[in-house]
Amino acid sequence: MYRPSPYEGLQTLFAEGKNLSDKERLAFSYGPLLSWYREHKRALPWRENKDAYRIWISEIMLQQTRVEAVKPYFFRFMEHFPTVEALANAPDEELLKCWEGLGYYSRARNLKKAAGVIMEQHGGKLPASKEELLALPGIGSYTAGAIASIAYEIAAPAVDGNVLRVLSRVTGSYDDILKQSTKKKMENLVSEVIKSGEAGDFNQALIEIGAIVCVPNGAPLCDSCPFYTVCAAREKGLIDEIPVKTPKKKRRIEEKTVLLLQYGEKIAIRKRSAEGLLASLYEFVNVPGKLGEDEVEAMFEKPVTMEPLPDAKHIFSHVEWHMGGYLVSVSEVPKALENEGGEPMIFVTWEELREKYPIPAAFIAYKNFLDKLYEEN
């Protein structure tokens, strides 16, 4: 168990019954927080050096999913696109294939756009200023702060949702952490204490506390926390109340029927429209609504062999897809199932599908089904 030693000056303040300001809470924990981080930080691939390109890519990926899930994506991405130049020249399909399953494909597209700007305007090197980083496509205040501080030791805050949880608890703040104004306030607070030269470790220490101590789900491990002495939420028993998050609007539900159309050894896929959700990615053929077997059969002119597949669900930020599905073997390519706004369907082998065509995670249940089917045969 880690118990911070009494911080300099703190005992006296407590003895005087003085309430600590937010800044004092952070400033008093500055040293213990850095020591804690240097002792407990996880060894992660993007922490091996201070390469701004690696840090940038990892930070964008980490906005999508957990550290453990990011690792294989990170390694693969670095193999395919080891430099800003390689990324700027990335063929779209190869780029999206590397991003397959991570979601929010616009982030991958913005990476490539930003790489182009870095080549043209910054000689292929990520700029060493928060303002210039902020001007790049797909880079917001958090990412700019993370790159500036971790790669270049610039004293800029990097406040994401996890850091907001930590800081709200430490300061005992009831501000809604989903509000932009709360984020700004916490960024200002960090700006007051962060120092250039140690900025990268300071921000990463806050990130690390959010990941492994003041955890997102479940009880925080306060006994192991360097903020133990100064944390207002711990002191006042407010851990269950803070952070405050107003519930989001309900998501729209869309029902769909996914058809895994088999024609001989091949399977039908089609490219989605260039606009909107999952733009330009490939998908299995699907139609609106949850259809019964009779309704699916009626869509084809010739008799088909079909097998129902398990239901699946995918949650996007504003929509939920509730899907049913069928494996349908056709003896003739059907015409009626072409894609509105997208490209006509094509039939590809399983190997081609796996290697070349980015299929978004929304269809993972059906892709896994095919994986098993083709592995067994």
**What sign does the CA torsion over 60, 210, 140, 48 have?**
negative
Amino acid 122 reads: H
Q: How far is the CB of 8 from ligand ADE (least distance, A)?
A: 29
User: What is the nearest approach in angstroms of ligand ADE to the Cβ of residue 106?
Assistant: 19
| 320 catalytically annotated | no
Distance CA 139, CA 146 (A): 10
Two structure tokens written together for 92: 């779209």
**Nearest distance in Å: CB 324, ligand ADE:** 36
Answer for the pair 274, 280: CB distance below 8 angstroms, yes or no. yes
Within 8 A by CB and 6+ apart from 209, the residues are 33, 36, 166, 225, 226, 227
DSSP secondary structure string for all residues of 14-83: HHTTPPPPHHHHHHHHHHHHHHHHHHH----GGGSS--HHHHHHHHHHHTTS-HHHHHHHHHHHHHH--S
Complex with ligand ADE: residue 143 or 168, whichever CB lies closer: 143
**Nearer to ligand ADE (CB atom), residue 37 or residue 300:** 37
Q: How far is the CB of 356 from ligand ADE (least distance, A)?
A: 31
Q: Between 167 and 211, whose beta carbon lies closer to ligand ADE? A: 211
Q: For ligand ADE, which is the closer residue by CB, 102 or 296?
A: 102
Q: Kindly state the DSSP code that residue 136 receives in the 8-state scheme.
A: S
Catalytic residue among 59, 100, 208, 283: 59
Nearer to ligand ADE, 62 or 285 (CB): 62
77 near 54, Cβ under 8 Å? Answer: no
Residue 119 Cβ vs ligand ADE, minimum distance, rounded to whole Å: 25
**Closest to 70 in 3D by CA, of 112, 98, 35:** 98
Q: Which is nearer to ligand ADE, 34 or 67 (by Cβ)?
A: 67
Contact residues for ligand ADE, defined by CB under 6 A? 44, 59, 62, 67, 204, 207, 211
Phi-psi region of 218 (alpha: psi -120 to 50; beta: other; left: phi over 0): left
- Indicate the length of the chain as a whole number: 377
Task: Give the residue closest to ligand ADE by C-beta.
Answer: 62
Q: What number of other Cβ atoms are within 10 A of residue 113's Cβ?
A: 16
Least separation in angstroms between CB 199 and ligand ADE: 13
Active site residues: 59
